[in-house]
Amino acid sequence: MHMEQGGFAAKDLTEVREYWDRRPCNLRHSPLPVGSRQYFDAVEARKYFVEPHIPAFADFARWRGKKVLEIGCGMGTDTMNFARAGDGTVGGSI
């Protein structure tokens, strides 16, 4: 069901979920086999090359020892960096 709302077509939650399941953010940041350690390392390097402001803004180490809930974590690149910094990280997407 698509209805116009404020200039945007309203989407069914199932459609939105299926879209992001097919194409998580940064999926194409590496030509390596998806799911391999090398793939995720390359995705992380490319992500922070393209979005260099994120590590400074997130300040992952600042959250050491705290609980962090990341909503809409996509492939989990930032979530992993929170976890590497030593916090109690939980990530989730719809």
Residue-wise pLDDT tens digits, 45-68? 999 999 999 999 999 999 998 888
Q: What is the pTM of this model?
A: 0.74
* Ranges of residues in the chain whose predicted pLDDT is under 50: 1
> Could you give the CA distance from residue 31 to residue 53 in angstroms, rounded to a whole number?
24
For tokens 């793939």, the residue is 39
Query: How high does pLDDT run on average in the chain?
Result: 85
Q: Would you say the C-alpha torsion 19, 20, 21, 23 has a positive or negative sign?
A: positive
> Could you give the CA distance from residue 3 to residue 5 in angstroms, rounded to a whole number?
6
Q: What are phi and psi of 65, to 5 degrees?
A: 80, 0
